[in-house]
Amino acid sequence: MSFSLHGIPVSRGIAIGRAYLIAPAALDVDHYLVDAPQIEGEIERFRAALKVVQAELDRLSSDLSADAPSEVGAFINVHTMILKDAMLVQETIDLIRTRRYNVEWALTEQLERLSRHFDDIEDEYLRERKADVQQVVERILKALAGAPSAAALVDGNADASDDMIVVAHDISPADMLQFKTQTFQGFVTDLGGRTSHTAIVARSLGIPAAVGVAHASALIRQDDLIIVDGDHGIVIVDPAPIVLEEYSYRQSEKLLEQKKLQRLKFSPTQTLCGTKISLLANIELPEDSRAAVEAGAVGVGLFRTEFLFMNHKDRLPEEEEQFEAYRRAVELMGGLPVTIRTIDVGADKPLDSIGADGYESAPNPALGLRAIRWSLSEPQMFLTQLRAILRASAYGQVRILVPMLAHAQEIDQTLDLIREAKRQLDDAGLPYDPGVRIGAMIEIPAAAIALPLFLKRVDFLSIGTNDLIQYTLAIDRADNAVAHLYDPLHPAVLHLIAFTLREAKRAGVSVSVCGEMAGDPQLTRLLLGMGLTEFSMHPSQLLVVKQEILRANLAALEKPVADVLAAFEPEEVQAALKRLSQA
């Protein structure tokens, strides 16, 4: 039966393919009693699932590349040991035998018991093994359900074909990041908002995606034929032949458009009236620099380093490992500037290695110990990162960007720590660029309003519109329940951006926009008209934004942009935007 579902469009284009459902990680299982004659069969089911997981771990282990961090191998070993441990295996079998619990129930009951023991252990290392036991149990439960896990999919374990569309309840930014190495046509999730980090990473893959599609993972079945309309956030399940034909046509039109855009790659980026504009790239991993260069970016405007820190069980990467990653990005950019942002964890970007005493237990993580606040609370960790970034500056043009600053003392403490990191490198005789430029993200309304604090202290600014919108409108950017209120065109947001651009220009401090607004071609004219000359976005968006820039005449944008900024009623804003699109 054909039906459609509606969500939030996060990555443009049309995907047509077979649904590939990823089981949620939640330990939400069926509970029932097994009849006595079926008990041995139930135990057999358990043993078969253990074998599947063992094979998954063996494959992970044999596929490990020689340069994989040693911890990855160690982590697979720990999981293998847990998988064979009598406390898990034998006790679960006993529960099936004595209580006649179905295997999923027995397994989660045993996990519950083990977890209670772990909580009482004093030794921190052993206490942390609780998370490993939980992950192993999740793997077994997924094997029992016969559904592929995100890990299985990225490990290449799953039987993935070229036309698959991933459907999941939710995908963590870390899992999404791993999909970078897989080919699939699109993705759909039940949860998420337009600028949740999962959506941002999806956009960087350049494939159609819709998030916040309520109940998609419950209503769509494995292998259903589905269409994802990433322009409108629509998912059509089991489409009628005529609908399929229409979407296939639209899909080929779009591919043609994308091909045509490639022609713009080598032309200089300037407006019709000759103003030069810099198009920079946002990256999550050093290897993304290849796509940045390929798309014609003139540098990296935002390297979100926290993604390097994800998928690291139990620890943060050491200075050497970080330094190698930053240096790789710098070298891949071949002399073009690379803006490395210091770690921005918390809110929808949790780290496995930071426990409940960190931000995860915060009542409101988006307003808690996130980004620079966390870095300043962990000075040794922060100094390690600063040294690694500074060392990479010996290999090319590096700029340091600091997220979520709001207070003068935060800026001053950060600058002090950068000076301290330089001193430590001097003592160690390690080279770095002493003139490395320091910038601040303007992404908290207080920072925009108190801009002189920043203009006096830092070398450049970058407006993070994703958070600026979140905090100005008090909308959690990852919460689809309030996604309809997340509005880049709210007059308050536009005034903060316009004010920041104007004041920075007046002070002679360079300023870019690196939030998702910079990569939205429908907003290019508006930002140009406000005076923006540096845009930083995912490489996949670069050419479509460039096309808008090549067609724009700044003088003609002045009046309609002034009208947008003077408008407060939504209809007036829309009318002025319409005039702007025709200017």
Tell me how far apart the 2 most distant CA atoms of the chain are, in Å. Answer: 83
Q: Which does 304 bind (CB under 5 to 8 A by kind): Mg ion, ligand PEP, none?
A: ligand PEP
DSSP assignments along 539-578, one per residue: GGGHHHHHHHHHH--HHHHHHHHHHHHH--SHHHHHHHHH
Q: Note whether 301 binds ligand PEP by CB under 6 A.
A: no
CB of 571 to Mg ion, least distance (A): 30
Q: Which residue has the tokens 């003088």?
A: 555
Sign, CA torsion 280/309/488/372: negative
User: Which of 384, 385, 466, 524 is in the footprint of ligand PEP by CB under 6 A?
Assistant: 466
CA distance linking residue 18 with residue 362, whole number of Å = 39
Per-position x/- string for 466-505, each x denoting binding to Mg ion as judged by CB under 5 A, each - no binding: -x--------------------------------------
User: Nearer to ligand PEP by C-beta: 25 or 340?
Assistant: 340
Q: Note whether 365 binds Mg ion by CB under 5 A.
A: no
Please give the structure tokens belonging to residue 302.
């935002």
CA distance linking residue 314 with residue 481, whole number of Å = 32
CA distance linking residue 491 with residue 488, whole number of Å = 9
Given the rule CB under 5 A, which of 11-19, 137-145, 255-263, 460-468 is the region that contacts Mg ion? 460-468
Q: Give whole-number Cα distances, 488 to 238, 464, 485, in Å.
A: 34, 12, 9
Query: For the chain, first and last CA: distance in Å?
Result: 46
User: Which of 464, 488, 519, 539 is in the footprint of Mg ion by CB under 5 A?
Assistant: 464
Q: How many residues bind ligand PEP (CB under 6 A)?
A: 11
User: Considering just the CA atoms, what is the radius of gyration of the chain in Å?
Assistant: 25
Given the rule CB under 6 A, which of 52-60, 329-337, 459-467, 547-555 is the region that contacts ligand PEP? 459-467
CA distance linking residue 217 with residue 456, whole number of Å = 50
Task: Decide the pairing of beta strands 8-11 and 209-211.
Answer: antiparallel
Q: Which of 166, 175, 177 is nearest to 203 (CA)?
A: 177
Using CB atoms within 10 Å of the CB of residue 90, give its burial: 0 to 12 exposed, 13 to 18 middle, 19+ buried: exposed
Q: Note whether 284 binds ligand PEP by CB under 6 A.
A: no
Q: Which does 515 bind (CB under 5 to 8 A by kind): ligand PEP, Mg ion, none?
A: ligand PEP
CA distance linking residue 249 with residue 265, whole number of Å = 26
Q: Note whether 538 binds ligand PEP by CB under 6 A.
A: no
Question: Catalytic residue at 273?
Answer: no
Q: Which does 479 bind (CB under 5 to 8 A by kind): Mg ion, ligand PEP, none?
A: none
User: Nearer to ligand PEP by C-beta: 148 or 301?
Assistant: 301
Which of 197, 312, 490, 538 is catalytic? The answer is 197
User: Which of 344, 410, 534, 548 is in the footprint of ligand PEP by CB under 6 A?
Assistant: 344
CA distance linking residue 196 with residue 210, whole number of Å = 12
CA angle 25, 74, 123 (to 5 degrees): 80
Q: Which does 196 bind (CB under 5 to 8 A by kind): Mg ion, ligand PEP, none?
A: none
Q: Note whether 464 binds ligand PEP by CB under 6 A.
A: yes
User: Which of 107, 316, 386, 514 is in the footprint of ligand PEP by CB under 6 A?
Assistant: 514
Q: Note whether 443 binds ligand PEP by CB under 6 A.
A: yes
Q: Which does 496 bind (CB under 5 to 8 A by kind): ligand PEP, Mg ion, none?
A: none
User: Nearer to ligand PEP by C-beta: 344 or 534?
Assistant: 344
User: Nearer to Mg ion by C-beta: 42 or 467?
Assistant: 467
CB of 303 to ligand PEP, least distance (A): 11
Q: Note whether 539 binds ligand PEP by CB under 6 A.
A: no
For residue 537, the surrounding DSSP H or E stretch is strand 534-537
Q: Which of 457, 362, 360, 448 is nearest to 418 (CA)?
A: 457
Tell me which amino acid residue 88 is.
Answer: L
Virtual CA dihedral for 449, 514, 261, 225, nearest 10 degrees? -110
Question: Catalytic residue at 514?
Answer: yes
Q: Note whether 9 binds ligand PEP by CB under 6 A.
A: no
Q: Note whether 515 binds ligand PEP by CB under 6 A.
A: yes
Q: Which does 465 bind (CB under 5 to 8 A by kind): Mg ion, ligand PEP, none?
A: ligand PEP
> By three-state DSSP, how is residue 10 classified?
strand
Q: Note whether 467 binds ligand PEP by CB under 6 A.
A: yes
Binding positions for Mg ion, 426-455, rule CB under 5 A:
443
Residues at the interface with Mg ion (CB under 5 A): 443, 464, 467
Residues at the interface with ligand PEP (CB under 6 A): 200, 302, 304, 344, 443, 464-467, 514-515
> Catalytic residue positions?
197, 514
